[in-house]
């Protein structure tokens, strides 16, 4: 079967109906210039590009040029991609990519070498596309909302299913927080045992310390993924549900404005150890191969072999690093304590008495 590729051309007056129909009517908001013929005619038509597959409308792009943007004062001339929209039927056929490449070509011809755009944080597919084209984030804007309690609609009550989902995630959060904090307390006690004189004793203590560090980082990663997920787009929409669920969790825990306790590069380093190891190997010398290191040095006095280790923990500063990605364990732990205080008291585990285990074991033997 022949694969059909998108063809991109300039828009004409007759294309405006397709654009408005595709975009959909969204009321009379002046922020949406693509929802009516009257508004769309106020835009320069030479900024519109149309994509077609087999001579059928497949999507559009709108761009414009400007001088001296307020948000980037060092730039004199720029291009701005205001909208890229692809018909759902043609997802996966690189229609958006074809539109963007044609827009880049026209901007280059117009002498525009700085290009801006904006992406909704929930639109993972478009965000990934821009990142593949080497766009980088240089500023962020927050959308704020206020609901007037006097004139606004009554709050929507959560369903039993939604409350159950929150409760289940609260239990998981509570246990991961508890596991992390207990391991951190054990870690501090182990650090009090340093120094150890004999080599075997050092090895055993080193392993005990790293076992606690492993648990701490594993639990911190789960907590971060529950509260600040970064899922890949999925056809069933579960990625959007995960983001919405996390937002409800953060609201319930009163940490709405907080950033993730673990930077995304640290989470990735822990979850993709095999890839980080491959990146780390070229940095090593032929004579030296130090994988895990506990350091009591000041950073300025630290030997190179310790600074270049793959896994690194500084006993004084509590800097923890995996590959090139690092965080401060003291900061992470304080954040987890803050989260734990807000978790519902009803969130708990079921612990069966040991006597019940014995009775069940005995009953099995009798069968």
- Give pLDDT tens digits for 88-137: 999 889 999 999 999 999 999 999 989 999 988 878 888 888 988 889 88
Whether residue 333 sits in one domain with residue 246: yes
Q: Which of 96, 113, 132 delimits the end of a domain?
A: 132
Asked whether residue 355 is domain-assigned, the answer is: no
Confidence class for position 358, pLDDT limits 50, 70, 90? low
Q: What is the DSSP letter of 117?
A: E
Highest mean pLDDT among 14-18, 102-106, 362-366: 102-106
For residue 92, the model assigns a pLDDT of 87
For residue 188, the model assigns a pLDDT of 92
For residue 352, the model assigns a pLDDT of 55
Alpha-carbon 203 to chain mean position: 37
DSSP 3-state assignment of 327? strand
What is the domain extent for residue 249? 160-342
Whether residue 171 sits in one domain with residue 111: no
DSSP 3-state assignment of 326? strand
Whether residue 283 sits in one domain with residue 189: yes
Burial 282-321 (b: 16+ CB within 10 A, else e): eeeeeeeebeebbbeeeeeebeeeeebbbbbbbeeebbbb
Asked whether residue 37 is domain-assigned, the answer is: yes
For residue 178, the model assigns a pLDDT of 93
**pTM of the predicted structure, to 2 decimals:** 0.53
41, 87, 108, 305 from 10: Cα distances, Å? 15, 17, 16, 59
Question: Is pLDDT of 158 > 90?
Answer: no
Alpha helices in 228-316 (DSSP H): 238-252, 264-271, 273-280, 304-307
> Strand order of the sheet with strand 311-314?
292-295, 311-314, 319-322, 325-328
Q: What is the DSSP letter of 284?
A: S
Q: Are 290 and 254 in contact (CB under 8 A)?
A: no
Asked whether residue 318 is domain-assigned, the answer is: yes
Cβ contacts of residue 90 below 8 Å, gap of 6+?
6, 53, 58, 59
Whether residue 175 sits in one domain with residue 321: yes
Whether residue 312 sits in one domain with residue 192: yes
Whether residue 320 sits in one domain with residue 186: yes
Alpha helices in 24-159 (DSSP H): 37-40, 95-109, 124-132
The rounded distance, in Å, linking the Cα atoms of 321 and 150 is 51
Mean pLDDT (whole number) for 173-198: 89
Mean pLDDT (whole number) for 32-61: 91
Whether residue 186 sits in one domain with residue 101: no
The rounded distance, in Å, linking the Cα atoms of 11 and 99 is 12
Whether residue 324 sits in one domain with residue 267: yes
Asked whether residue 32 is domain-assigned, the answer is: yes
Confidence class for position 335, pLDDT limits 50, 70, 90? very high
Whether residue 165 sits in one domain with residue 123: no
For residue 364, the model assigns a pLDDT of 47
Alpha-carbon 137 to chain mean position: 13
Asked whether residue 356 is domain-assigned, the answer is: no
Per-chain mean pLDDT for the chain: 82
H-helix or E-strand spanning residue 53: strand 48-53
For residue 1, the model assigns a pLDDT of 40
Question: Is pLDDT of 196 > 50?
Answer: yes
Of 157-171, 175-189, 222-236, the one with minimum mean pLDDT is 157-171
Mean pLDDT (whole number) for 285-308: 75
Whether residue 244 sits in one domain with residue 173: yes
Asked whether residue 153 is domain-assigned, the answer is: no
Q: Are 233 and 121 in contact (CB under 8 A)?
A: no
Asked whether residue 362 is domain-assigned, the answer is: no
Question: Is pLDDT of 153 > 80?
Answer: no
**Cis omega before residue 201 (within 30°)?**
no
CA atoms within a 13 Å half-sphere pointing along the CA-CB vector of 131: 9
Structure tokens at 24: 């959909």
Asked whether residue 155 is domain-assigned, the answer is: no
Whether residue 178 sits in one domain with residue 120: no
Question: Residue 29 maps to which CATH number?
Answer: 3.40.630.30
The rounded distance, in Å, linking the Cα atoms of 216 and 336 is 11
Q: Which of 89, 114, 132 delimits the end of a domain?
A: 132
For residue 202, the model assigns a pLDDT of 83
What total of structural domains would you count in the chain?
2
Whether residue 109 sits in one domain with residue 14: yes
Confidence class for position 337, pLDDT limits 50, 70, 90? very high
């Amino acid at each position: 079967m022949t694969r059909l590729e998108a063809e991109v051309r300039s828009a004409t007056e007759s294309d405006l109906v397709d654009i408005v129909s595709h975009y959909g009517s969204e009321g009379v908001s002046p922020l949406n210039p693509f929802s009516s013929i009257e508004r769309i005619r106020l835009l320069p038509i030479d900024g519109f590009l149309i994509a077609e597959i087999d001579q059928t409308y497949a999507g559009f792009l709108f761009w414009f040029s400007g001088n001296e943007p307020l948000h980037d004062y060092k730039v004199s001339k720029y291009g701005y991609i205001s909208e890229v929209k692809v018909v759902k039927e043609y997802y996966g056929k690189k229609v958006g990519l074809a539109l963007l490449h044609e827009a880049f070509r026209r901007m280059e011809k117009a002498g525009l070498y700085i290009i801006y755009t904006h992406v909704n944080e929930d639109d993972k597919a478009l965000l990934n596309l821009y990142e593949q084209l080497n766009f980088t984030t240089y500023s962020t804007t927050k959308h704020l909302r206020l609901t007037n309690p006097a004139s606004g609609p009554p709050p929507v009550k959560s369903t039993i299913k939604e409350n159950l989902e929150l409760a289940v995630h609260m239990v998981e959060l509570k246990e991961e927080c508890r596991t992390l904090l207990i391991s951190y307390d054990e870690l501090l006690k182990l650090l009090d045992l340093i120094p150890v004189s004999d080599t075997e004793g050092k090895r055993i203590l080193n392993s005990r310390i790293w076992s606690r560090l492993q648990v701490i980082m594993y639990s911190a990663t789960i907590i971060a993924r529950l509260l600040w997920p970064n899922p890949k787009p999925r056809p069933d929409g579960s990625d959007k549900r995960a983001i919405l669920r996390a937002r409800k969790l953060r609201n319930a825990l009163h940490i709405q404005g907080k950033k993730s306790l673990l930077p995304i590069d640290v989470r990735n380093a822990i979850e993709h150890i095999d890839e980080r190891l491959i990146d780390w190997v070229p940095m090593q010398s032929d004579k030296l191969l130090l994988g895990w290191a506990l350091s009591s040095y000041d950073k300025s006095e630290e030997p190179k072999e310790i600074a270049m280790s793959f896994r690194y923990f500084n006993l004084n500063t509590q800097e923890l690093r995996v590959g090139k990605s690092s965080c401060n364990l003291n900061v992470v732990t304080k954040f987890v304590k803050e989260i734990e205080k807000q978790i519902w008291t009803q969130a708990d585990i079921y612990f069966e008495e040991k006597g019940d285990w014995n009775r069940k074991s005995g009953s099995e033997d009798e069968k």
